[in-house]
C-alpha cells in the first residue's frame, strides 16, 4: 500500500473522528450567530451596515478557525499516544511520518470545511445587505485559512514538547504577539528607540508574524493593497508552514512513545 494511500486513509478517519466531537454543530452555531449578529448590527447601524456585517463575518471566521486549530491541534497527536491508538497503527506498515501527515491532513480538511461554511454565510449576508463583492474578501478568507494552518502546526509542535494545556497557552501567546508585531513597528516610541525597533524586527523574522496575513483592514476600508502583497503573504505562510512541518517531523520521528 503506497504512502499516499495510507495518508488518505489516516486523514479520512481523523476527519470523521473530529466530526464525532460535534465540532460541526459548533461551526453551524457560530454561523447562525453570525447571521443573527450581522442582521441586528445592520439594523442598528447607519450608513454602512454591509461593512459591519462583513467585519463580524471575518471576525467570527478567524475566531472559529484559530480556535479549532489551537484546541484540536494540541490534542491531535497526544490523544493518540495517551489512548495507545498510535501503537496499533504503527504496528502495521505505516511510518510515523505517514501517520503524522494523515492526522494533519484530516484536521486541515476540517478547517477547510469550517472556512467554507462560515465564508459562504459571511459573503451571503454581505450580499443581502447590498455589499459589492471584491477579490480581497476571498483573499482575506484564504489568508485566514493559511493563518489557521500555521497556528495548527504551532499547536502540534508545542504538544510534542509539553502537555496539551501548555501547548494551548504557548500557541495563544505567539498568535497574539504575532499580530501585535506589525502595529508595534509603526509606533512613534518604537521608531525613536533603535534597539527596540531592531528587536521587534528580528522577532518578526524569527517567530511567526501573523500580521502579514491580516488584510481585513484593507477589505473593510477598501484601501489598495501594496503590489504583490497577496503573493508575498502566501509565500511567507507556505515557507513558515514548511519550516514548522520539518521541525514537527524531526521531533515526532525521535520522540519516545513509551
* Counted domains in the chain: 1
Cα–Cα distance measured from residue 46 to residue 61, given in angstroms and rounded to the nearest whole number: 24
Task: Note whether 102 and 14 are within 8 A (CB).
Answer: yes
Task: Note whether 106 and 10 are within 8 A (CB).
Answer: yes
- Kindly report, residue by residue over 176-207, the tens digit of the pLDDT: 998 887 776 666 666 677 777 777 777 777 88
**Reported pTM:** 0.89
Cα–Cα distance measured from residue 91 to residue 93, given in angstroms and rounded to the nearest whole number: 7
Q: What is the number of helices (H) and of strands (E) in the chain?
A: 12, 0
pLDDT of 128 strictly over 90: no
pLDDT value of residue 207: 86
Given its phi and psi angles, is residue 207 left (phi above 0), alpha (psi -120 to 50 degrees) or beta?
Answer: beta
What φ, ψ does residue 192 adopt, rounded to 5°? -85, -5
pLDDT value of residue 258: 60
pLDDT value of residue 53: 81
Grid cell for residue 67? 480556535
Q: Please give the residue range of the domain that contains residue 35.
A: 3-254
**131 vs 108, residue with greater confidence:** 108
Q: At what angle do helices 49-76 and 96-128 cross, to 10 degrees?
A: 170
Mean pLDDT of 56-81: 87
Q: Identify the weakest region by mean pLDDT among 48-62, 96-110, 193-207.
A: 193-207
Amino acid at each position: 500500500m503506497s504512502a499516499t494511500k495510507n495518508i488518505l486513509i489516516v486523514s479520512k478517519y481523523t476527519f470523521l473522528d473530529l466530526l464525532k466531537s460535534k465540532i460541526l454543530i459548533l461551526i453551524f452555531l457560530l454561523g447562525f450567530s453570525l447571521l443573527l449578529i450581522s442582521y441586528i448590527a445592520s439594523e442598528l447601524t447607519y450608513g454602512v451596515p454591509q461593512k459591519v456585517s462583513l467585519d463580524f463575518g471575518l471576525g467570527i471566521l478567524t475566531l472559529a478557525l484559530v480556535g479549532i486549530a489551537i484546541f484540536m491541534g494540541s490534542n491531535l497527536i497526544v490523544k493518540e499516544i495517551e489512548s495507545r491508538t498510535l501503537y496499533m497503527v504503527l504496528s502495521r506498515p505505516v511510518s510515523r511520518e505517514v501517520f503524522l501527515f494523515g492526522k494533519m491532513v484530516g484536521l486541515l480538511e476540517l478547517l477547510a470545511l469550517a472556512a467554507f461554511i462560515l465564508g459562504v454565510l459571511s459573503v451571503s449576508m454581505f450580499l443581502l445587505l447590498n455589499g459589492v463583492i471584491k477579490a480581497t474578501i476571498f483573499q482575506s478568507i484564504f489568508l485566514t485559512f493559511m493563518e489557521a494552518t500555521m497556528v495548527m502546526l504551532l499547536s502540534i509542535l508545542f504538544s510534542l514538547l509539553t502537555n496539551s494545556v501548555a501547548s494551548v497557552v504557548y500557541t495563544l501567546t505567539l498568535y497574539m504577539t504575532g499580530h501585535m508585531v506589525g502595529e508595534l513597528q509603526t509606533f512613534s516610541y518604537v521608531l525613536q528607540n533603535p534597539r527596540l525597533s531592531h528587536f521587534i524586527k528580528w522577532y518578526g523574522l524569527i517567530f511567526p508574524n501573523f500580521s502579514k496575513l491580516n488584510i481585513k483592514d484593507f477589505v473593510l476600508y477598501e484601501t489598495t493593497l501594496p503590489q504583490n502583497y497577496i503573493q508575498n503573504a502566501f509565500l511567507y505562510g507556505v515557507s513558515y508552514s514548511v519550516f514548522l512541518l520539518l521541525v514537527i517531523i524531526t521531533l515526532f520521528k525521535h520522540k519516545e512513545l513509551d
